[in-house]
Amino acid sequence: MLQLRRVITIWILAPACLASAALAQSLEDRVTVHRMKNGLTVIFAERHSAPTFSAIYGFKVGAVDEVAGITGTAHLFEHMAFKGTPKIGTSDFEQEKTILAQSNAVGRALSLELLKGDVADQVKVKSLKEQLLALDKEQKKFIVKDEIDVIYSGAGGVGLNASTGNDATQYYISLPSNRFELFCLVESERLKNAVLREFYTERTVVQEERKQTTEANPARMLYESFMGAAFLAHPYGHPVIGWASDINSVTLEEATAFKKKYYTPNNCVITIAGDITPAKAIPMMEKYFGDWTAGDPPPVVRTTEPKQLGERRVKYEAQAEPQIIMGFHKPAFPSRDDAVMTVIATLLTSGRSSILYTDLIKQKQMAASVNAMAGIPGARYDNMFVLTAAPRHPNTNEQLEKAILAHLDTLKTRPVDAKDLQKVKNNLEASQIRAMRSNMGLAMTLMRYQLLFGDWKLYLTMKDMVASVTPQEIMEAAQKYFTPENMTVGTLIKKSK
Amino acid sequence: MKAIRLLLILAVLVSVVASFGLAQKHPRELAEPAPLAFKPVKPVEFTLANGITVFFLEDRELPLVTINGFLRGGSLYEPQEKAGLAGLVGTVLRSGGTALMNGDAMDAELEFLAATVETGGGTEFMTVSTNCLKKDLTRVTEILASVLRSPAFAQEKIDLAKNQMKEGIRRRWDQPAQGAGMLFAEQVYGETAYGRRVTYKTLNAITRDNLIAFHKKHYVPGNLFLAVSGDLSKEEANALLTKAFDGWKGEKIDLPDVPSLTEKSDGTVYYAYKETPQANVVLGHLGVRRNNPDEITLEVMNDIFGGGGFTARLMKEIRSNRGLTYGIYGGVFEGKDRGVFRIASQLKADKSVEAVALVKEMIKDLQTNPVTEEELALSKKSLANSFVFRFDAKERIPGMYLQMKLEGYPVDYYDTYLERLKKVTREDILAAAKKYMDLEKMIVVVVGDEKKFDKPLTTLGAVKAIDYQKVAEADRAE
């Protein structure tokens, strides 16, 4: 039986290898990398199928670079990057500037006073709030609301947005291809000359964002508790959005200092995918981004997570149906074990023929959902293999945990089928072809590998590593990482009324 | 203390001023670029001998093929007491396998090929979507055809799908914003396919015979519309589909008329208590029938008022100016019958009633004063210049045209779009706002904890309480 499978596997493997070589070739043909003197890396991926392009740029700074007290700053700053410059977003910057400085000082004083909690001087708080309101009103006379949005919108731009993660912060826009110079002007202007206006109003927006996306979302609240328990020391343990207390108190000065440290050309990768020809675009990029001043290399995260020496459990109670999350520490890309764990995650829950989907959802019908991920929450530092699942009533978290652990144990002793490994490889090949269907998807992938690991081609290396994982390696990794002392479990317990 | 503050101010001034690089141009000073060389790509349409309609577009960029399909029929045509039937057919059609291949074997084979054949059931249409590598196209199309033609509706997969849907019903009230949306739909649409919810009871009432009968009626070649794109020629597509659907017969079907929706919104404020940090608000009433003369006006109006990201009034005022929410979106939307006028937001609890009152004032203003010249110009520029993005992914184009056809839009809809857009005036928008938004009838659904709100909800109108917990529990009563 096993031999027959191997024969089939080899027969299928041949065309897959061909496809892989073709993919690498077709990507390399499309990609041009340009490095500027100030350290900025620009990657072009040419696709001339429609007269549009997508641009994404990322900074290697995320929640992992934050320390206690200023969690959420990377994300809050990302919001502030849309507030304009001395040219954009204002009708008269000379006049606005003075009010802005006063209002920032009052805002800071108010934040500091409020931080005193119960002993805060209420008279002072009231007076500062009034001053802030008056200054805001004065400043509004000069503010041209969300002008970056207005400019791009009028030019036909779509998907203007940004996101912050544990590892990086990235900014997106797609435009018709005749607007490349506009892109260069707007982005170089806000990267070189951002004005952080309306900071304290935006901070309240982020407070509401936290409530909406985290506090009202049981799965996210469980995840937050779980990560806090899984990481004792390393900043991967705190939420990207930040703790409520920190969002409420972070000051403009702290956000500005954060920006200065990390928003430098040498810490940035810009990727342009679509109908843009590098030979014409590079001089344009040089014209606009060439005088952006390089900064010091950003600080590295000093803390390493100590080895976990025993099982950790955390409970979160809410008016919601039960869920469970389980995690195991593991090394990050490009370690060999990262590739092995990626294959394990795929085998376990990717698709309806995967191991856990088949057994827990289709056969035993214990679970409503089950999902495994190999690189949570980021890839810059050692991370976790994480499984999330929701039991199907009346099954419980405990029953589901037991069933999942039984499968993890099986992986330690029984080699996986060659055909199942082949399936993983086939899907990897296809997903990489599919990634090229969208300018933004392509831009994001190339940007991410270049920014986090220093070379976009590691995207292809990753694929080769995953494709070469063996059944023996899977058993060894399962034995090494799926141990009780390396496990953290979080459960959402339904609160009795 | 004072001195320290002064120092701080100075420090801030210095840091603000010092951080600017060389002054650049304002973007408006850039020369207007050369016009975009762009003409919308169109699919070709052909019909197979047995009546299947095909919209096709060749796309050789990558070795992939996409086949998406629609069939008329959906939850609009299922009996009230069997709500969920169309959805269940949509799921089990694929998961239940065929006479020749069970669902699990199909999962295994398709996933090995990194291919997808997925089926679903919507309100008005049943759907199918397929994507595969070119090398596997023949086999995947065979599977696709067999799923549509001869599903087995295996009882065990019906049970599985019902169990999964029931678990979804248990969990759907966990998130308050979703809960508010369901309560809003129920109030605005009543006991219709748009307003009712699938419950344990309606699922229990559905039998395998119901699924078989639903399939027999709707899944016939005369009712199948396919959108095909990718790495193949029209001739190849024709031959492939002809072969896969060879011998399948069935004329175009007649669907019964669905009773028209009637406006029952009466200005009531519905309040459902849930322990949650914000006020989850949905407000509105019925909307507008699709493909009507005001359609382009409404598109511009929505863009200016509530739909166009940060350039829209709602986002600008409620989020950007006041910091009362992370997001607020809305507008008057089209539907087969009436569509919906709907604005939704999760609002800062201790300013939430004030925010809702403000939204109402903003609606009133839109009905009283024409939008500004600048707003209209920006919106038109934005919609015209971003038009190209509707056509930037070839795999989406055949389906886009097909859907327009099925929904009754004129064939030249996209050809005339830019011309129609140009003609929209401020007066048109004012008239549309008056015609399609009614502050008196508009209902407001609020899920949250009124104790945290700034004012009593009664300041917004007559309040009716809904027991969130009871509604959730009733959905799962066997």
Statement: residue A231 has pLDDT above 50: yes
Verify that A344 and A487 share a domain, yes or no.
yes
Percent of chain A with pLDDT over 70: 95
Clarify whether residues A271 and A311 are in a common domain: no
A126 within domain boundaries: no
Among the listed residues A72, A440, A82, the one whose alpha carbon sits nearest the alpha carbon of residue B309: A82
CA separation for the pair B105, B101 (Å, rounded): 6
Residue numbers of chain B with a pLDDT score lower than 70:
1-23, 308
Question: What are the tokens at A274?
Answer: 């679509």
Q: Is A413 on the interface with B (CB under 8 A)?
A: no
Shared-domain flag, residues A166 and A195: yes
Q: Is residue A178 part of a domain?
A: yes
Structure tokens at A16: 């897959």
3-class DSSP assignment, residue A127 = helix
Sort out which chain B residues have CB atoms less than 8 A from A496's CB and list them: none
Q: Is residue A316 part of a domain?
A: yes
User: Cβ of B168 under 8 Å from any chain A Cβ?
Assistant: yes
Across the interface, of B160, B170, B309, the residue whose CB is closest to A149 is: B309
The whole domain housing A173 covers 33-89+144-211+236-289
Count of residues making up chain A: 497
Task: Please give the Cα distance from A147 to A477 (Å, whole number).
Answer: 52
Distance from CA of A3 to the nearest CA of B (A): 19
Which candidate, B88, B380, B35, places its Cα nearest to that of B209?
A: B88
Judge whether A110 lies within some domain: no
Res B40: pLDDT:
87
Long-range contacts of residues A101-106, Cβ cutoff 8 Å, at least 24 apart = A101/B9, A101/B12, A101/B13, A101/B16, A102/A135, A102/B9, A103/A132, A103/A135, A103/A136, A103/A139, A103/A200, A104/A199, A104/A252, A104/A253, A104/B12, A104/B16, A105/B5, A105/B8, A105/B9, A105/B12, A106/A131, A106/A132, A106/A135
| Contacts with B30 from chain A: Cβ below 8 Å | 181-182, 185
Q: What is the mean pLDDT of residues A24-41?
A: 90
Compute the distance between CA of residue A218 and CA of residue A232 in angstroms, rounded to an integer: 22
The secondary structure of residue B45, as a DSSP letter, is E
Domain end (from A227, A255, A289): A289
Residue A152: inside a domain: yes
Same domain, A44 and A167: yes
**Cα gap B471→B476, rounded to integer Å:** 9
Sign of CA dihedral B185, B189, B190, B196: negative
**pLDDT over threshold 60, residue A14:** no
* Whether residue A315 is found in the same domain as residue A183: no
Pairing relationship of beta strands A268-274 and A383-391 according to DSSP bridges: unpaired
User: Nearest 5 degrees, angle CA A296-CA A299-CA A305?
Assistant: 165
Kindly state the tokens that stand for B300: 């511009």
DSSP string, B148-186: HH-B---HHHHHHHHHHHHHHHHHTTSSHHHHHHHHHHH
Q: How many other CB atoms are found less than 10 A from the CB of residue B213?
A: 13
- Is A336 part of a structural domain of the chain? yes
Q: Among residues A438, A431, A373, A462, which one has the least CA distance to residue A172? A: A438
Please state whether B339 falls in left (phi above 0), alpha (psi between -120 and 50) or beta. left
pTM exceeds cut of 0.90 = yes
Res B307: pLDDT: 86
List of domains in chain B: 44-173+186-244 (3.30.830.10), 269-473 (3.30.830.10)
Among A201, A238, A187, A173, smallest CA distance to A76 is for A201
The answer to whether residues A336 and A434 belong to one domain is: yes
Q: Which residues contact B293 (CB under 8 A, 6 or more apart)?
A: none
Residues facing B127 on adjacent strands: B70, B120
A301 domain-assigned: no
pLDDT of residue A20 exceeding 60: no
Q: Across the A/B interface, how many CB contacts are shorter than 8 Å?
A: 257
Q: What is the DSSP code (8-state) at residue B257?
A: P
Most distant CA pair in chain A: distance in Å?
83
- CA dist B91 and A353 (Å) reads 16
Is residue B261 within 8 Å of residue B286, measured between CB atoms? yes
- Check which CATH number belongs to the domain holding A335 and give it: 3.30.830.10
Helix axis angle for A93-115 and A122-140, nearest 10°, is 160
- Phi first, then psi, for residue A465 (nearest 5°) are -65, -50
Q: Which pLDDT belongs to residue B24?
A: 80
The pair of three-digit structure tokens given for residue A421, joined into one six-digit string: 């490994």
- CB proximity B177 to A under 8 Å: yes
- A213 vs B contacts (CB less than 8 Å): 326
Model confidence at A4, pLDDT cuts 50, 70, 90, reads very low
Evaluate whether A242 touches A73 at the Cβ level (below 8 Å). yes
Give the best residue of A54, A141, A319 to mutate against chain B (max B CB count within 10 A): A319
End-to-end CA distance of chain B: 68
Q: Which of A139-143, A456-460, B317-321, B462-466 has the highest mean pLDDT?
A: B462-466
A413 lies in a domain?
yes
Of B87, B89, B137, nearest to B117 by C-alpha is: B137
- Angle (deg, nearest 10), helices A73-80 and A252-262: 90
The mean pLDDT value for A76-88 works out to: 94
A 77-136: CB under 8 A from B: 82, 85-88, 97-98, 100-102, 104-105, 108-109
Q: Which of these, A168, A248, A247, lies nearest to A453 by C-alpha position?
A: A168
Q: Which of residues 232-271 of B touch A (CB under 8 A)?
A: none
B154-165 in b/e burial notation, b at 16+ Cβ within 10 A?
beebbebbbbbb
Q: Assess whether the previous peptide bond of A377 is cis (omega < 30° from 0).
A: yes
Instruction: Report H helices in B275-346.
Output: 295-302, 313-314
Residue B225: other Cβ atoms inside 10 A: 21
Least CA distance to B170: which residue of chain A? Answer: A321
A252 and A323 share one domain: no
- Is the confidence at residue A375, as pLDDT, over 80? yes
Q: Are both A269 and A328 inside the same structural domain?
A: no
Same domain, A155 and A263: yes
What per-residue string of b and e applies to B194-203 under the rule 16 or more CB within 10 Å gives b? Answer: bbbbbbbbbb
What CA–CA distance (Å, rounded) separates A277 from A372? 40
Q: How confident is the model at residue A19 (pLDDT cuts 50, 70, 90)?
A: very low
B125-133, strands of its sheet edge to edge: B44-47, B53-58, B224-230, B64-72, B125-133, B116-121
SS (HEC) of A209-268: HHHHHHHCCHHHHHHHHHHHHHCCCCHHHCCCCCCHHHHHHCCHHHHHHHHHHHCCHHHE
How many structural domains is chain A composed of? 2
Does A380 lie in the same domain as A259? no
Q: What is the pLDDT of residue B222?
A: 96
DSSP B336: S
Q: Are A154 and B20 a contacting pair at CB < 8 A?
A: no
CB neighbour burial string for B43-72, b if at least 16 within 10 angstroms, e if fewer = beeeebebbbbbbbbbbeebbbbbbbbbbb
Domain boundary (A289, A319, A352) is at A289
In this structure, are A405 and A485 located in the same domain?
yes
Encode pLDDT of A313-366 as tens digits: 999 999 999 999 999 999 999 999 999 999 999 999 999 999 999 999 999 999
Strands in A265-392 per DSSP E = 268-274, 312-318, 323-330, 367-376, 383-391
Distance CA A32, CA A457 (A): 12
Does B146 reach chain A within 8 Å, measured CB to CB? no
By the CB < 8 Å criterion, does B418 face chain A? no
- Residues B124, B135: Cα–Cα separation, whole Å: 34
Mean pLDDT across chain A: 92
Give Rg (Cα) of chain A.
25
Task: Tell me whether residue B22 is exposed, middle or buried, using C-beta atoms within 10 angstroms of its C-beta: 0 to 12, 13 to 18, 19 or more.
Answer: exposed
Q: A257 and A205 in one domain? A: yes
Decide if A219 contacts A388 (C-beta within 8 A). Answer: yes
d(CA A38, CA A49): 32
Per-residue confidence at A17, pLDDT binned at 50, 70, 90? Answer: very low
CB pair distance less than 8 Å for B12 and A253: yes
Residue type at position A305: E
Q: Which residues pair with B269 in a beta bridge?
A: B444, B463
Name residue B331's beta-bridge partners. B342
Distance of alpha carbon B131 from alpha carbon A353, whole angstroms: 17
